[in-house]
Structure 1
Amino acid sequence: MSKIFVIHENSEWTEHLINRLEELDLPYEDWLLGNGTVDLTSVPPEGIFYNRMSASSHTRGHRFSPELTNAVLAWLEHHGRTVINGSRALQLEVSKVLQYLELEKFGIKTPKTIAAVGKEDIIKSAEAFEGKKFITKHNRAGKGLGVQLFETVEALHNYVEGPAFEEPVDGVTLIQEYIESPEAFITRCEFVGGKFVYAVRVDTSEGFELCPADACRIDDMFCPVGEEASAPAKFEIREGFDHPILKKYEQVLAANDIQIAGIEFIQDKEGNIFTYDINTNTNYNSDAEAKSGQFGMLEIAKFLRNNLKEPAKI
């Protein structure tokens, strides 16, 4: 019997989707790719395959899960299986460099960014931002890994040469201009089936590591999700949000065979939008969704159900 295969490496981020699949009484298989094998002489099972592999898998002890997933996706696509967020989506998931180049291709402004390998070149690259605030981040990241704010090259030098420096898993550090917003928040736009679902206002006043998944409340002490009831919500759905940038985002997703994603942007003091992240393994915040009455995982489950009946032409 044909069914839905959910490819991932983190059960806590997949639990809500599994619950929705069961709620809709859909046949599924939970395909955990922490490790494993791919027999290239075998034929894949019948069904549709939803890739939820994360760029931050190495932080959970799954260093080579993206590489294993890449082999699995190539095998599935070779046999003509319907893959949601296939090989191209995974390529963008693990490389912000590729993300920025794709965004710029469609006329979407991204922050000035230099990619560097090696401590000496990281420090040298920062000279291009002299006199301005800038940040560093990991090329292969997720959850805001490696994001640090600097005001001087000297401060960066002290960090890079000090014990707190975080080596990126792929060796590539990005040095990027810091976009200062008049208010401390960014906007994350969610897409299912390549179409806009809703936008979330994310408070950045406490830092950059902003995973919306509910599991972050328990397992990631640096992820500021949970707040006291009296405090402003960290995640709030922006009701009625509409902007011409959404059409451009949909074009980027369509061109790269990405059906499900969250795309993040920030606005500067002049109102200019800078887009800096495409998350093909997107998560949702249950408190924000409950307040709004919109549910991302339910939309994904419905989309997978529709594709199970009539596979999309991908």
Structure 2
Amino acid sequence: MKLRVLHDNPDWYPPLAAAFDAEGLEHEQWLLGVGTLDLGAEPPPGLYWSRISASSAARGRPHAKEHARAVLSWLEAHGRRVVNGRRVLELEMSKAAQLAALRASGIEVPLTFAAVGRAEQLDAAGKLPTPFIVKPNQGGKGLGVRRFESVAEFAEYLDSSEYEPPVDGITLVQEHLRAAKPVITRVEIVGGELLYALTADTARGGFELCPAEACAVPSQSLFALRDGFDDHPIVGRYLRFAARQGIDVAGFEFIETEDGRVVTYDVNATTNYNPQVDAAAADAGPRRVARYLKGLLGAADEGNGS
């Protein structure tokens, strides 16, 4: 049987394809955003991996998310095994959903208001200390995240030509976390296990911290492996959260604040891997994912009597 990878960005596929090839895993891409789905047909047998990004509209594929919802519903209706399936897609598409689920699991998240409407956004901002940040509910790579020093500054932005309304109409108005050091930590998990943790330099990278090679700029890497992280208590919480939510592959991002809090603000189910970090790690992300998916395919073959 074959692995089929559902995604919306061909630039992110080559490192994964190389890892699949190295593991002898037969695979093909299924690029979503354009196409026809025969709802009367049965999906091909095999394993499917959903990697649809919340930032697909920023790359000229505004309908990839809805296309993915239709495809995943079709696959799951026919009992196909989907890694990071429809339930995970909904978490990927809504930061509000992520934060609500994390909070319900006992994981600390930033104080956040999900606001729809201009007046509502300003009212929410008035309930937070300054500075505060705003971000689109549906987005990725840190796109659209802005910091404001006052409600008046935010109101001026909303009335300016620079204002970009969120694609789903929901804006998150959120407390600004004051980090003890100018870094965030990203914890990568694959198949119910920790892969590694890495840090990203926010002093140089700001809010846009995409680790993929396709996002790289010609300068020193913003990312570094975080050693000695295996026993950190947040790891177990993330693994339990992922198991409850049906998340197979993801990156969790948190900030350690100057007042000693560990605050999680993002779950990225379309995680990409940084080549410099992979080179320093005991196990590279794409190869670990390839082995995990190969194991799932092997189990499926045995179940079918192959």
Partner of 2:152: 154
| Percent of pairs with identical residues | 43
After superposition, residues 129-278 of structure 1 pair within 5 angstroms as: 129=128, 131-206=129-204, 207-217=206-216, 225-228=217-220, 233-241=221-229, 242-278=231-267
Partner of 1:309: 298
Report the more deviating stretch, 258-267 or 246-255.
246-255
1:226 is displaced (CA, Å) by 4.2
After superposition, residues 289-304 of structure 1 pair within 5 angstroms as: 289-304=278-293
Can you list the C-alpha shifts for 1:41-94, whole angstroms capped at 9, x where unaligned? 100001000001100000011001011111111111111111100001100000
Matches of 1:289 and 1:295 in 2, distance apart? 5
Query: Could you say what secondary structure the match of 1:186 adopts?
Result: strand
- Please tell me the root mean square deviation across aligned C-alpha atoms, in Å: 1.4
Query: Could you say what secondary structure the match of 2:272 adopts?
Result: coil
Report the more deviating stretch, 277-286 or 233-242.
233-242
Query: Could you say what secondary structure the match of 2:196 adopts?
Result: strand
Matches of 2:164 and 2:6 in 1, distance apart? 28
One-letter identity of the residue aligned with 2:290: A
One-letter identity of the residue aligned with 2:262: I
1:270 is displaced (CA, Å) by 2.1
Query: Could you say what secondary structure the match of 2:101 adopts?
Result: helix
Query: Could you say what secondary structure the match of 1:301 adopts?
Result: helix
Partner of 1:288: 277
Gaps of 5+ in 1: 218-224
Q: TM-score, normalised by structure 1?
A: 0.93
One-letter identity of the residue aligned with 1:240: G
Query: Could you say what secondary structure the match of 1:159 adopts?
Result: helix
Partner of 2:124: 125
1:293 is displaced (CA, Å) by 4.2
Gaps of 5+ in 2: none
Partner of 1:221: none
After superposition, residues 61-100 of structure 1 pair within 5 angstroms as: 61-100=60-99
Number of residue pairs matched by the alignment? 300
Query: Could you say what secondary structure the match of 2:278 adopts?
Result: helix
One-letter identity of the residue aligned with 2:252: I
Matches of 2:126 and 2:222 in 1, distance apart? 34
Query: Could you say what secondary structure the match of 1:215 adopts?
Result: helix
Contact 2:186 2:197 in 1 (8 A): yes
1:34 is displaced (CA, Å) by 2.6
Matches of 2:24 and 2:238 in 1, distance apart? 32
Matches of 1:283 and 1:49 in 2, distance apart? 17
One-letter identity of the residue aligned with 1:203: D
1:194 is displaced (CA, Å) by 2.3
Partner of 2:106: 107
Matches of 1:262 and 1:48 in 2, distance apart? 21
- The change in CA–CA distance for 1:311 and 1:132 in structure 2 (over 3 A counts) is farther
Matches of 2:48 and 2:73 in 1, distance apart? 12
Matches of 1:41 and 1:107 in 2, distance apart? 43
- The change in CA–CA distance for 1:184 and 1:90 in structure 2 (over 3 A counts) is same
Matches of 1:211 and 1:281 in 2, distance apart? 11
1:196 is displaced (CA, Å) by 1.2
Partner of 2:59: 60
1:118 is displaced (CA, Å) by 1.8
